[in-house]
Chains A and B, each alone.
Chain A
Amino acid sequence: MVVALLLVIIFLGITAFLFYLEKRIRVSETKLKKLEEEKNRDKES
């Protein structure tokens, strides 16, 4: 029972970290998209 509970807590911690990582990746993707759009606009003008 204690081992199962401990493993569940560790596993939930890992998944929380993965959700956090995903959020950071999404933010980076949005920033990169904006940068690319700006760069394309500069090239066109």
Chain B
Amino acid sequence: MKSIQHKWWKIAGVIILVYVIAGGFLFDVPAFPVIQQSIRNVYFHVGMWFGMIFILLISLGYSIRFLLYRVPEDDMRALSAVRTGLLFGTLGLLTGMIWAKFTWGAFWVNDPKLNGAAVGMLVYLAYMVLRGSVDEEDKRGRLAAVYNIFAFVLFFVFIMIIPRMAAASIHPGTDGNPALSVGDLAPEMRKVFFPAMAGWFIMAWWLYSLLYRSTRIDHKISELKNN
């Protein structure tokens, strides 16, 4: 019974995403020109991307907390969140590339939004490289936390501000948030889209918590070995 109490939100997330996969492929969607049936990818591509932004925000929060209180667990939480964010970002890019192939004819087109997303991901990959280059734990934590704040601001600039300043982007959402702006999403798609958001957020949180717990175990083992 206690196990179910701990697991209920994960089971709920799994049920929601099973519904999203089934509904996403089987429910009717409007017949948009060019995009056609590929519009169904919005439940996956946008969901994963928003899941990534959600978990990167969590990472930002823990980095700020680490700088304020210097608790090593906060640094581990920030690192685990970035790892989860990178995984979701990669999945978001891959689903986007498949979508691009079917609508724009190529896996990658020279578009400010797409290039911004790729550069944003590289900024977070550099966070991992930076962590790997410092041996001292506290110094590594402080450097990584400062860089993480900088990385989130840069990421925001690359995916939200620069594409809006550029004259032409074929990626939707230049005027607002993709799929959330009024008129972006057909009403019949909302019954799958909003659960998809919830499902991907839960999945991101679950993966992050698993990564954090395993990182903490590694840290404790090395502490026990050293003492």
Interface residues of A (CB under 8 A from B): 1, 3-4, 7-8, 11-12, 15, 18-19, 21-22, 25, 28-29, 32, 35-36, 39
Q: How many residue pairs, one in A and one in B, have C-beta atoms under 8 Å apart?
A: 45
Within the complex, the shortest CB–CB distance from B212 to chain A, in Å, comes to 10
19 contacts between A and B (CB under 8 A): A1-B25, A1-B26, A3-B25, A4-B22, A4-B24, A7-B25, A11-B21, A12-B18, A18-B10, A18-B207, A22-B210, A25-B210, A25-B214, A29-B213, A32-B217, A32-B224, A35-B224, A36-B220, A39-B224
CB pair B217–A28 under 8 Å, yes or no, is yes
Identify the B interface with A (CB < 8 A): 7, 10, 14, 17-18, 21-22, 24-26, 206-207, 210, 213-214, 217, 220-221, 224, 227
Q: Would you list the 5 A-B pairs with minimal beta carbon distance, nearest first? A: A4-B25, A15-B14, A25-B213, A7-B21, A28-B217
Pick from A1, A3, A21, A22 the residue with the most CB of B within 10 Å.
Answer: A22
Report the Cα distance A20→B26, complex, angstroms: 30
For the A-B complex with A25-B210, A25-B214, A36-B224 known, give 20 more contacts whose Cβ atoms are closer than 8 Å.
A4-B21, A4-B26, A7-B21, A7-B25, A8-B18, A11-B14, A11-B17, A11-B18, A15-B14, A18-B10, A19-B7, A21-B210, A22-B210, A25-B217, A28-B217, A32-B221, A32-B224, A36-B220, A39-B224, A39-B227
Q: How far is the CB of A44 from chain B (nearest CB, A)?
A: 14
Residues of B within 8 A of A4 (CB): 21-22, 24-26
